[in-house]
Structure 1
């Protein structure tokens, strides 16, 4: 069993390694250690994430995918979440999240549940239900924040106070540097956190 920690932040301005020390301490308290870390700055609403894909490629059956919270793993819509969940299940990976206590049993090799199939089946069912609930809440939180942002913009526009989102000159500069180095539009988007269409607009200016 290898524990693979997934660290994600939504933008380049955020620190994806913020939870690293917390996850290290958490695994130590359970008599385990993290074998590898997968860090990236990308929205949890995107299914195609380079480091998450690498984790899924390198993992083996019974390995653990460790996250601080379920929203670090997913803010996906229902269709994409089902697809990601299917990929995880096909690999035989177990999700452990600090905000889902029922998932912690996977860290204890000597747990009673490993020897009692009935107890294990019940706890697995409860654990899956809680992960589903947390995933739905993560998506709902994302949609709520987007709605509030949209309403705020509409209010600002009506008052003549909306000036639009300010461009980040440093990130724009990185886009052009990456392009000069021969990176594809997709690679640039993954490296900067922009969408392909945003990369195209920046390069066109």
Structure 2
């Protein structure tokens, strides 16, 4: 029966030191770390390795549940996987211990709140983008093709789509699209 730790931050410029120290203090023998978003399980190689390695009687320790997953679906999926292997889940900063009934209930509540927080953040981001678009601040990426030059080469020089594309270093389909839209 071993105690394993899992630490995660979302971006490469964030630091894992605080989580690492807390997991060491919790008695973790091995700590797996990664710097990747927790919104899904994709790309989380260290978590995958850890979940494959854990055995009956082991304990997985995280500092907070949001380090393990950001959606209730992912959190529940991981919890089910751990439970089926006989692995307990504990959090150092939250009263979570899936080995007890109260710990399981608190685990579920925290998971719901973590997902709620993620959804609120997405809504605020979309509201901000909509406001920026309405204010004329957010206009998207600047056009990379000079439409007037494409038209000039076609009308004044009589060049075809292939010649225009080669001269401007763009795809022929882009030339066709521009010529058809005018």
Compute the TM-score of the two structures, normalised by the length of structure 2. 0.69
CA contact (8 A) 1:6 1:39 kept: yes
- The separation in 1 between residues aligned to 2:106 and 2:20, in whole angstroms, is 23
Determine whether 1:59 maps to 2:54: yes
* Counterpart Cα distance in 2 of 1:61 and 1:72: 22
8 Å Cα contact 2:3/2:58 also seen in 1 = yes
**Is 2:72–2:111's contact at 8 Å kept on the other side of the alignment?**
no
Q: Distance in 2 between matches of 1:15 and 1:164?
A: 32
- Superposed, which structure 2 residues align to 1:14-163 within 5 Å? 14-25=14-25, 27=26, 33-48=27-42, 49-78=44-73, 80-101=74-95, 103=97, 124-162=100-138
Cα distance change of structure 1 residues 76 and 156 upon mapping to structure 2, 3 Å threshold: same
- Structure whose CA Rg is larger: 2
- C-alpha distance in 1 between matches for 2:106 and 2:114: 12
Question: In 2, distance between residues paired with 1:20 and 1:133?
Answer: 25
Residue 155 and residue 102 in structure 1: after superposition, are their counterparts in 2 closer, same or farther (change >3 A)?
closer
Q: CA deviation at 1:100?
A: 2.7
Over the residues paired in the alignment, what is the CA RMSD in angstroms? 2.1
- Following superposition, the deviation at residue 103 of structure 1 comes to 2.2
Tell me the SS of whatever aligns to 2:97.
Answer: helix
SS of alignment partner, residue 28 of structure 2: coil
Displacement of 1:164: 5.9
- Identify if the C-alpha distance between structure 1 residues 164 and 67 changes in structure 2 by more than 3 Å, giving closer, same or farther: farther
Question: Is the contact made by 1:100 and 1:127 (CA closer than 8 Å) also made in structure 2?
Answer: no
1:17 touches 1:39 (CA, 8 Å); kept in 2? no
Q: Which runs of 4+ in 1 moved over 4 A?
A: none
Paired residue total: 140
Higher relative contact order (CA 8 A, sep 6+): 1
